Amino acid sequence: MAAICISREGGVSMKRSLLFLVVFTLIFSTFSFSAKAAGFKDLTESHRFYEEMLFLESEGVISGYTDSTFRPDEEVTRAAAAIMIGRALRLSGEQRATKFSDVGANQKASGYIASAVEKGIISGFPDGTYRPHEFVTRGQMAIFLSRAFQLTEEAAASFTDVSPNMSAYVYIKRILAEKITAGYPNNTYRPNVDVTRAQFSAFLARALDDRFKVEVPRSYAMDQSKVYHYHADEVGTIVYKFSGEQSNGWNVWEVYEGGKKVDARMVEREDSNGYYFSYMESEGVIEEVMLLKYPVKVGQSWPIGPSGSGKKHTITSMTKTITTPAGTFRNVVEVTDKDGTFVYYAPNVGRIKSVINGAVILELAELTNR
């Protein structure tokens, strides 16, 4: 048999080729693995909530469909939401009878639905149904997660499309405080919009792990669940109470002076550009004034007055601690002008004090529940 000889140069060359092949294979394999979540062929890194869904998969909270898809952009059903929450809380998913006429023991989600009822997380509809195939709205999602994780702390909800007469109102305030949601850039929450499977995964991941929580922009609008009692120089007591109404995007507040309701009503609104204030009379809203320009940052300046024609005001601090008869407020924003006006705004409360030339002309005296 003839001997096979490999020169030293040839051996080195072959080793280099093999090494290159191995490295290439490892890189390619790593790329392929990271590009898609292990169990879902339709989920890639480019998806906004890829990390959240990958986390829930690793925790056994989501498992997808039999064809190895997760279908992230489809709406999440009430049955799927119950399964995901049940797995996250390690509730019993053993299929069994439920109190709902439309959820039988043979349904996949029946065990989790029954367990969620026992924990007070879900209650169904007045007609005795659960409607497992209906989609979950953002308002319902807030209720589910608030109850599931026993959230109690509330943040002021200044969303233009959320009001105290909504069943989800207090729950939206709670997931806002927990940094599970931040709403939309135009200062809406959209409580009646259906939630996708990816979005629900993101909300659930934020509730489970602080790594996924969102930074909630601070609001400087007034808290609609509170009654504001101010002491005003030369006027006495002024009280503002939210009417529960909105007018063309403005939150409408009833005004009381000396215990008597006045005809004019105060209105306020907040959007991504700033916080606005005005009064509304029978003919409509009087010309608006921007009290704060967003983003709130030291050095931000703008003219304050009708149509931006007034004096220029500037944010000179965001870390003031201000005490009024209503309490002590921290991280207060100070707004000044060159003529000696100082106005103070507390996060999630609104205006708490105004000073001109050293004299207090307006001060929050009391903050009570509606």
Mean predicted confidence (pLDDT) in 93-118: 96
CA distances from 300 to 233, 291, 303 (A): 28, 12, 11
Residue 217 has pLDDT above 90, yes or no: no
Domain boundaries, given as residue ranges, for the chain: 41-212, 226-369
pLDDT at 149: 97
Q: What is the rounded distance in angstroms from the CA atom of residue 103 to the CA atom of residue 109?
A: 8
CB-count burial class (<10 Å; 0-12, 13-18, 19+) for 22: exposed
Q: What is the pLDDT of residues 7-35, one digit of tens each?
A: 344 444 444 444 433 333 333 333 333 33
Handedness of CA 64, 65, 66, 67 (dihedral sign): negative
CA distances from 176 to 159, 172, 179, 327 (A): 11, 6, 5, 23
In the structure, what pLDDT confidence band is assigned to residue 163 with cuts at 50, 70 and 90?
confident
Q: What is the pLDDT of residues 53-69, one digit of tens each?
A: 999 999 999 988 888 88
Percent of the chain with pLDDT over 90: 60
Residue 5 has pLDDT above 80, yes or no: no
CB-count burial class (<10 Å; 0-12, 13-18, 19+) for 74: middle
In the structure, what pLDDT confidence band is assigned to residue 283 with cuts at 50, 70 and 90?
confident
Farthest-apart Cα atoms in the chain, separation: 116
pLDDT at 151: 96
Residues making up the chain, counted from first to last: 370
H-helix or E-strand containing 324? strand 312-324
